[in-house]
Amino acid sequence: MTTVYVDDLSSGFKKVGAGWRQGNTGHAGHHFYAPVRKTSRTRYASWKPALPVAGTYAVQAWIPGQHATSRKAAYKVKTANGWVTRVRSQYKRRGTWVSLGTHRLTTAPIVQLADKTGEGDGSGRKLAFDAVRFIPTAATLAKIEAAEND
């Protein structure tokens, strides 16, 4: 299967803001994390894959086992139809891939996550930033295979 991964240490990942911390667990043995913020965004990251064809993909984020204690991680996905937001509890899904939905995507979608979760600044909760993967549906996989055979 032609799954596309963007890890936090790959060229398709970008982080903005100061004060990032690093952990040694997660997909490929590394992740970034930051304290959550209630009302103002100070840090955010984006994952930008280069997909082989436009089509429908399942989008999933890896939640590392450490430093993922936010209950309100708001992932934004730029689809072919505009932005959608999926709020997920990282705390409940540590050590797993979490679904951000199946979406129609261009060849250059974006997934964003910011430290502004609405959780209290003094809550002690942290937001983890690791890998995102894009899994083509059967119809999109057929388009990829057809393009490879041209």
**Region class of 51: left (phi > 0), else alpha (psi between -120 and 50), else beta:** beta
Q: Do the Cβ atoms of 88 and 73 come closer than 8 Å?
A: yes
The pLDDT tens digits for 32-76 are 999 999 999 999 999 999 999 999 999 999 999 999 999 999 999
Alpha-carbon span 32 to 21, nearest angstrom: 6
Q: Do the Cβ atoms of 6 and 49 come closer than 8 Å?
A: yes
The pLDDT tens digits for 70-119 are 999 999 999 999 999 999 999 999 999 999 999 999 999 999 999 999 99
**Cα–Cα distances in angstroms (integers) from residue 139 to residues 1, 57, 80, 143, 144, in the given order:** 12, 10, 16, 7, 9
Residue 150 has pLDDT above 80, yes or no: no
Query: What are the boundaries of each domain within the chain?
Result: 4-148
Residue 138 has pLDDT above 60, yes or no: yes
Q: What is the pLDDT of residue 1?
A: 57
Q: What is the pLDDT of residue 120?
A: 87
Query: Quick one: pLDDT band at residue 121, thresholds 50, 70, 90?
Result: confident
User: Does the predicted TM-score (pTM) go above 0.75?
Assistant: yes
Q: Name the token pair of 53.
A: 């064809």
Q: What is the CATH number of domain 4-148?
A: 2.60.120.260
pLDDT, average across residues 135-144: 92
Q: Name the token pair of 119.
A: 């959780």
Instruction: Tell me how far the alpha carbon of residue 35 is from its chain's centroid.
Output: 17
The candidate with the shortest Cα–Cα distance to 94, out of 133, 121, 115, 67, is 67
Alpha-carbon span 35 to 116, nearest angstrom: 9
Query: Quick one: pLDDT band at residue 147, thresholds 50, 70, 90?
Result: confident
